[in-house]
């Protein structure tokens, strides 16, 4: 890949303010793209409208700007792209891999057997795979997954493989509320924007094989993946969106603390402390970080992020 051919992106969900974890994802994706002379795009993942919090998209954008993380080109808003997702869904339907499912989450939870997938994911037991069960109305659309493993190489984590049938089973591409599922939308959006480098938090590592499977079906090239270490809470547990908000709305004085936050996120990403003080303008810190970026120093394992110098 020629240096200038790299296109990366940051894709926040406006369901809450940026927090230390999403700041790491923003900065990490920026550095991977910019250190290769590439473009860094911004997409607002506001597809899941019931979870979108009014005002958060603006808050995230203003926070990124204050921190000097300026994106290239126009922002893409997922909520305005239903037609494009519908086209991709049609293509999948024409391949014969999509089927209607009449099961509710509660029903699946009752039937699904261990092992369950990651997080709150349930392995779909395939109830409607060969036709809607009697008396059921279609609710969602699912995609049939293969028995073969999907494997790929993550630039930070290393070789990864997953058998979708064991981790999630046939997964939803259009939800019961009519919304397109995140996996379909992200694959379609990244492809259309020419994104060939996906740098994001390791919480999405387990979803990547589903996205790669969709790319293969849709005939879309596979981007290079880099899953960044996750920021945990101080006790090693999951960082909640409410913890450690990095935003104006949360009352943080970003004009004053921006440098300290950027330097803390750089340390977390294994980068040598750039020779600039926390009081330097964010642009100066970022320029030093881009110039000295060492992708190989990014650790695969996360932990708490200290904002103390």
12 binds ligand GLU (CB under 6 A): yes
Residue 72 CB, shortest distance to ligand GLU, in Å, is 17
Comparison of 77 and 292: residue with beta carbon closer to ligand GLU: 77
Comparison of 21 and 259: residue with beta carbon closer to ligand GLU: 21
Known active-site residue 241: yes
305 binds ligand GLU (CB under 6 A): no
Residue 151 CB, shortest distance to ligand GLU, in Å, is 19
Using Cβ positions, the residue closest to ligand GLU within the complex turns out to be 45
45 binds ligand GLU (CB under 6 A): yes
Catalytic residue among 91, 136, 163, 241: 241
Total residues at interface with ligand GLU (CB under 6 A):
7
48 binds ligand GLU (CB under 6 A): no
What are the distances in angstroms from CA 156 to CA 109, 210, 229, 295?
Answer: 34, 19, 9, 8
Residue 40 CB, shortest distance to ligand GLU, in Å, is 13
E strand or H helix that includes residue 217: helix 208-218
59 binds ligand GLU (CB under 6 A): no
Quote the CA–CA distance of 295 and 298 in Å, as a whole number: 6
13 binds ligand GLU (CB under 6 A): yes
The 10 Å CB-count burial string (b at 16+, else e) for 51-89 is ebeeebbebbbebbebbbbebeeeebebbebeeebeebb
Of residues 308, 26, 302, 303, the one with CA closest to residue 156: 302
186 binds ligand GLU (CB under 6 A): yes
Count CA atoms closer than 13 A to 211's CA, side-chain side: 22
Q: In Å, how far from its chain's centre is CA 259?
A: 25
Of residues 75, 86, 85, 52, the one with CA closest to residue 185: 85
Interactions with ligand GLU, residue window 188-207 (CB under 6 A): 200, 204
4 phi/psi in degrees, rounded to 5: -75, -5
11 binds ligand GLU (CB under 6 A): yes
Comparison of 11 and 265: residue with beta carbon closer to ligand GLU: 11
Quote the CA–CA distance of 267 and 154 in Å, as a whole number: 21
The DSSP secondary-structure symbol of 97 reads -
209 binds ligand GLU (CB under 6 A): no
Mark residues 79-108: x for contact with ligand GLU by CB under 6 A, - for none: ------------------------------
162 binds ligand GLU (CB under 6 A): no
Comparison of 40 and 99: residue with beta carbon closer to ligand GLU: 40
Quote the CA–CA distance of 65 and 57 in Å, as a whole number: 12
Point out which span in 6-14, 59-67, 143-151, 266-274 binds ligand GLU (CB under 6 A).
6-14
Quote the CA–CA distance of 136 and 101 in Å, as a whole number: 8
CA dihedral 9, 298, 203, 306 (to 10 degrees): -110
Hey, which residues are catalytic here?
Answer: 241
Contact residues: ligand GLU, CB under 6 A: 11-13, 45, 186, 200, 204
């Amino acid at each position: 890949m020629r240096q200038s051919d790299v296109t990366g992106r940051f894709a926040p969900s406006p369901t809450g303010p940026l927090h230390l974890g999403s700041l790491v994802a923003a900065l990490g994706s920026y550095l991977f793209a910019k250190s290769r002379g590439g473009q860094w795009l911004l997409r607002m993942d506001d597809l899941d409208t019931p979870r979108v919090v009014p005002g958060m998209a603006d808050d995230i954008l203003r926070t990124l700007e204050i921190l000097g993380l300026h994106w290239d080109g126009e922002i893409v808003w997922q909520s305005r792209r239903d037609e494009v997702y519908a086209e991709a869904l049609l293509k999948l339907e024409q391949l014969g891999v999509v089927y209607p499912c009449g099961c509710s989450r509660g029903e699946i939870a009752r039937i699904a057997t261990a092992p369950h997938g990651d997080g709150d994911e349930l392995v779909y037991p395939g109830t409607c795979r060969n036709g809607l069960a009697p008396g059921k109305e279609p609710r969602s659309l699912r995609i049939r997954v293969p028995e073969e493993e999907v494997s790929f190489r993550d630039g930070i984590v290393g070789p990864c493989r997953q058998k979708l049938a064991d981790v999630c089973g046939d997964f939803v591409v259009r939800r019961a509320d009519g919304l397109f599922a995140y996996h379909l939308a992200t694959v379609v959006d990244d492809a259309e924007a020419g994104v060939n480098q996906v740098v994001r938090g390791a919480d999405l590592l387990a979803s990547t094989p589903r996205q790669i499977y969709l790319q293969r079906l849709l005939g879309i090239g596979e981007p290079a993946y880099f899953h960044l270490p996750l920021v945990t809470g101080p006790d090693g547990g999951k960082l909640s969106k409410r913890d450690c908000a990095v935003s104006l709305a949360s009352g943080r004085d970003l004009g004053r603390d921006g440098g300290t936050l950027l330097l803390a996120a750089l340390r977390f990403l294994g980068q040598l402390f750039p020779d600039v003080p926390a009081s330097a303008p964010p642009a100066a810190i970022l320029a030093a970080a881009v110039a000295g970026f060492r992708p190989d120093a990014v650790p695969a394992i996360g932990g708490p992020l200290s904002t103390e110098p």
